[in-house]
Amino acid sequence: MKRIGMLTSGGDCQSLNATMRGVAKALYNIYQDEVEIVGFEDGYKGLIYADYRLMKPQDFSGILTRGGTILGTSRQPFKLMRTPDENGLDKVEAMKHTYRKLKLDCLVVLGGNGSQKTANLLREEGLNIVSLPKTIDNDLWGTDMTFGFQSAVNIATNAIDCIHTTAASHGRVFIVEIMGHKVGWLTLHAGMAGGADIILLPEIPYDIDVVVEAVKARQKTGKRFSIIAVAEGAISKEDAKLTKKELKEKKKTGIVYPSVAYEIGAQITERTGQEVRVTVPGHMQRGGEPCPYDRVLSSRLGAAAARLIEKGEYGYMVAVKDNDLTKVPLEEVAGKLKMVDPQCAMIAEAKAMGICFGD
């Protein structure tokens, strides 16, 4: 009897259930009645505190189109994994104990950057791990695509689409703040798909003067409105030169804005006199049903994970390379971010169309 553990960790996304379904259906197909799947509640927390349930084939029925995760999820910061909990419990030893008590043959981890680091830690501790690349940010190193990304792009794009009509009606500048603290893939794709005039990414520190001039240039050509797609982690050239400590001190003085979008909006109004409105889709970008692309990708990734388990190939993340699936060693993935290259072809093509990146 094969016993496989499964957990979803970190921020949720639309196709976690679809991916778990892919893993489960492939495992049941391979092993028939000779496999048991143990689902851990709320991510690594369930593994730490042995909060789990034995899952049945019917648990994976009807969830292809269901957003969120039937197992629940939580954020367990990697930097605190070696720190005992409030009761002095060694979390790493507790996870290993749960794994061995349940006599698991493998643990399947669906998660983003921090989750992959913990998965690699458990690999280093001797556990059999297979991981799957989950994040709406598409920032995992080693894979061209993560599941959840395209669904989030669709939602963020729709937000920009909806803003276009009201922006045109009122002749305003609208800033749409897109998720992405450290990387700008989601903002870049949604911005281009939604026809944004200005796109500001964490990887390209912006000059507010350049942004303002781009807005003024549109006004001069008779354009009544401008759409700006801003990543949560967008940063000005001035702030990008500061250390984390200096930036923290700077934020203690002067006006405190809810986010960078509101700060940029205030600066544009001050310099142009034009009305600015900020829209923050927020967690809507993580919610709802997965788009068809993600349903297909999740199914493929899940089946590929099951094949790795069948072959006994552990310690890998299933990845997408040139639309084919491959495996990448966890130690190569853990702790690395896939950033937007400011010199990449997509940026160059966007600039060729007149999109301003604030640089």
Q: Is residue 29 in a domain? A: yes
Structural domain harbouring 304: 2-148+290-333
Cβ atoms of 118 and 81 closer than 8 Å = yes
Closest Cα partner for 205 from 240, 250, 245? 240
Tell me the three state secondary structure of residue 218.
Answer: helix
Q: Is residue 359 in a domain? A: no
The answer, yes or no, to whether residue 31 has pLDDT greater than 80, is yes
137 is known as an active-site residue: yes
Domain count within the chain: 2
State pLDDT tens for residues 87-126.
899 999 999 999 999 999 999 999 999 999 999 999 999 9
Task: State the Cα–Cα distance between residues 25 and 64, nearest whole angstrom.
Answer: 11
Could you tell me which residue, 10 or 104, shows the higher pLDDT? 104
- 102 and 169 within one domain: no
Q: Could you tell me the CATH number of the domain that includes residue 178?
A: 3.40.50.460
Q: Is residue 199 in a domain? A: yes
pLDDT band at 253 (very low <50, low <70, confident <90, very high): confident
Task: State the Cα–Cα distance between residues 107 and 12, nearest whole angstrom.
Answer: 19
The whole-number pLDDT of residue 280 equals: 95
Which residue carries 């709802």 as its tokens? 288
Q: Could you tell me the CATH number of the domain that includes residue 141?
A: 3.40.50.450
* The two structure tokens encoding residue 107: 């643990």
Q: Which helix (H) or strand (E) holds 2?
A: strand 2-8
How many C-beta atoms surround the C-beta of residue 32 within 10 A? 8
- 126 and 94 within one domain: yes
- 310 and 229 within one domain: no
334, exposed or middle or buried, with CB in 10 Å at 0-12, 13-18, 19+?
buried
The whole-number pLDDT of residue 248 equals: 78
The whole-number pLDDT of residue 273 equals: 85
Q: Is residue 194 in a domain? A: yes
Task: State the Cα–Cα distance between residues 11 and 56, nearest whole angstrom.
Answer: 25
The answer, yes or no, to whether residue 39 has pLDDT greater than 80, is yes
The answer, yes or no, to whether residue 185 has pLDDT greater than 80, is yes
Cβ atoms of 7 and 44 closer than 8 Å = yes
The sheet that has 226-231: what strands, in order across it? 198-200, 226-231, 173-178, 276-279
Task: State the Cα–Cα distance between residues 92 and 95, nearest whole angstrom.
Answer: 5
Of 286, 317, 347, which residue constitutes the final position of a domain? 286
- 296 and 241 within one domain: no
- 96 and 27 within one domain: yes
Task: State the Cα–Cα distance between residues 124 and 357, nearest whole angstrom.
Answer: 41
Strand-pairing partners, residue 349, are: none
- 31 and 106 within one domain: yes
pLDDT band at 243 (very low <50, low <70, confident <90, very high): confident
Q: What is the average per-residue pLDDT within 217-234?
A: 91
Tell me the three state secondary structure of residue 73.
Answer: coil
Q: Which of 12, 42, 137, 139 is catalytic?
A: 137
- 138 and 36 within one domain: yes
The whole-number pLDDT of residue 9 equals: 93
